[in-house]
Amino acid sequence: MKKNITRRNMLKTSTAAVGAVAGAGLLKGFPAIHAADAPVIRYLGTAVNMGDAVQKRLFDDTGIKVKFIVKTTDEVVKTIFTQPNSFDIVDSEYFSMPKLVPSGNLLGMDTKRIKEWDNVTSAFTKGEVAGKKIGDQGTAPKKVMYLKGSNSKEFASEPTQHVTLIPTVYNADTLGIRPDLIKRPISTWAELLNPEFKGKASILNIPSIGIMDAAMVVESMGEYKYPDKGNMTKKEIDLTMKIFTEAKKAGQFRAFWSDFNESVNLMASGEVVIQSMWSPAITAVRTKGIPCVYQPLKEGYRAWAAGFGLPATTKGRQADICYEFINWYLSGWVGAYLNRQGYYSAVIPTAKKYMESYEWDYWMLGKPATADIMSPEGKKLASKGEIRDGGSYEARMGSVECWNATMDENKYMVRKWNEMIAS
């Protein structure tokens, strides 16, 4: 009976045509019940890291196909709440966990089934890089990693067997600048509100991330020292928004952006010379041949991290396939792919195996490139002799100051953010 239910679920998940072809072609010789269950995973996420190359490689290696349900970060969260059975696997960010876990819609992931679990970077499991504690303000992954059990709705403070998400990718974010238009060194977050860049600055209009960048700026201006930037009190939110409202009224910002492509266009066109930016946006500007630097700043980085979760109802063969997919994801090929995009893979040793040594030296060790550095799509990102912005993995991840966060006063924060936009 149990098998039947699983089979039904899997049939539902597979698109009929793909299922028939893949099932007949790849799983010949398997018991009949398996042959009918062609593995197709409905993958909910922003899918920014999942290009065609990844899907092709996945299919070649495992025979698993992926059907994407592409949504924005916020919509992914909404989908987990409202349609928890509309996907088989979700790619989500850790900062959503304080909201998601109490809903009970996600399964506690069994680390015993993850081959490379012991190799997952300590930035996730312990909040350390190279044995050194890194900043943990905001929703640092280690705070929302462990659960009290597989069906638990509560976080555990000590490492346990069950986790919220299996980590996949993370990065340290900072400000992007146009060095050719600024023509002087930039070393602090406070420069975002420097009147010198009046009408040429930008910040992203996604409240939960924008507020963190704003807090980095306020703190570096010496206006206020937050006990925890990632969990502000109402007073702290007021203070932060007051400073930004004044700057906005004074015409500091050329525009705000809410879509990745907008940030690329603002920067590439020269409308903006300093702004909040994400790593692939820097790459996109650079591949147009326009100089753009992901500027390391003395106060440190704002980090984010994502991972895979499963719906609470996952079991049986469906779970097997999803774990197989996750194990493949962490087995190195994707890790190298992510590293080459300027992100970091959650399992570093396996990724190393799939990278050329000159690539490894450039991306991970911060050494000057000994050959031209190419993006995974084969576009040139850096010439021989150039050094990665921010340097090595240890220098970048080791300087993390805070993490993307869900605050207790989230509702109030969103409201105040809207007030700033309306001011």
Partner 1 sequence: MLPYIINNSIFNMPNLFKIKPSVGLLSLPYSLVFIFFFFIPLVLTFVISFWDYNEYSIIPDLILENYRYIFENCFSFENGMCVTFKTYLSTFMFCLITWFFTLIIGFFVAYFLAFYVNSLTWQIALFLLCTIPFWTSNVIRMISWIPLLGRNGLVNDFFLSTGLTSTPQEWLLYSGFSVVLAFVHLYTLFMIVPIFNSMMRIDKSIIEAAYDNGANGFQILWNIIIPLCKPGIVIGSIFVITVVMGDFITIGIMGGQQIPSIGKIIYVEMSYLQLPAAAANAVILLFLTLLIIWIMTKMIDIRKEL
Interface with partner 1 (CB under 8 A)? 72, 74-75, 77-78, 81, 98-100, 102-103, 199, 205, 207, 248, 253-259, 261-262, 265, 269-271, 410-411, 414-415, 417-419, 421-423
- List of residues 6+ apart from 6 with CB closer than 8 A: 315, 316, 317, 318
Residue 27 or 239 having the CB closest to partner 1: 239
Residue 110 or 262 having the CB closest to partner 1: 262
In the complex, least distance from residue 20 CB atom to partner 1, rounded to whole angstroms: 33
326 and 350 Cβ atoms separated by less than 8 Å? no
Q: Supply the DSSP string of 267-292, one letter for each residue.
A: HHTTS-SEEE--HHHHHHHHTTT---
DSSP 108: P
- HSE on the CB side for 145, CA within 13 Å? 23
Residue 41 or 310 having the CB closest to partner 1: 310
Residue 292 or 382 having the CB closest to partner 1: 292
Residue 163 and residue 110: Cα distance in Å, rounded? 7
Residue 274 and residue 293: Cα distance in Å, rounded? 10
In the complex, least distance from residue 284 CB atom to partner 1, rounded to whole angstroms: 13
Residue 221 and residue 213: Cα distance in Å, rounded? 12
In the complex, least distance from residue 410 CB atom to partner 1, rounded to whole angstroms: 7
* Single-letter code of the amino acid located at 354: Y
In the complex, least distance from residue 234 CB atom to partner 1, rounded to whole angstroms: 14
- HSE on the CB side for 257, CA within 13 Å? 22
In the complex, least distance from residue 395 CB atom to partner 1, rounded to whole angstroms: 33
Residue 133 or 249 having the CB closest to partner 1: 249
Q: Which of 139, 153, 140 is nearest to 108 (CA)?
A: 153
In the complex, least distance from residue 414 CB atom to partner 1, rounded to whole angstroms: 6
Label residue 90 exposed, middle or buried (CB < 10 Å: 0-12, 13-18, 19+).
buried
Residue 66 or 241 having the CB closest to partner 1: 241
Tokens, residue 101: 């876990």
Residue 122 or 265 having the CB closest to partner 1: 265
* Helix, strand or coil, per DSSP, at residue 420: helix
- List of residues 6+ apart from 77 with CB closer than 8 A: 92, 96, 99, 100
In the complex, least distance from residue 423 CB atom to partner 1, rounded to whole angstroms: 8
In the complex, least distance from residue 16 CB atom to partner 1, rounded to whole angstroms: 27
CA 186 to chain centre: 25
Residue 134 or 211 having the CB closest to partner 1: 211
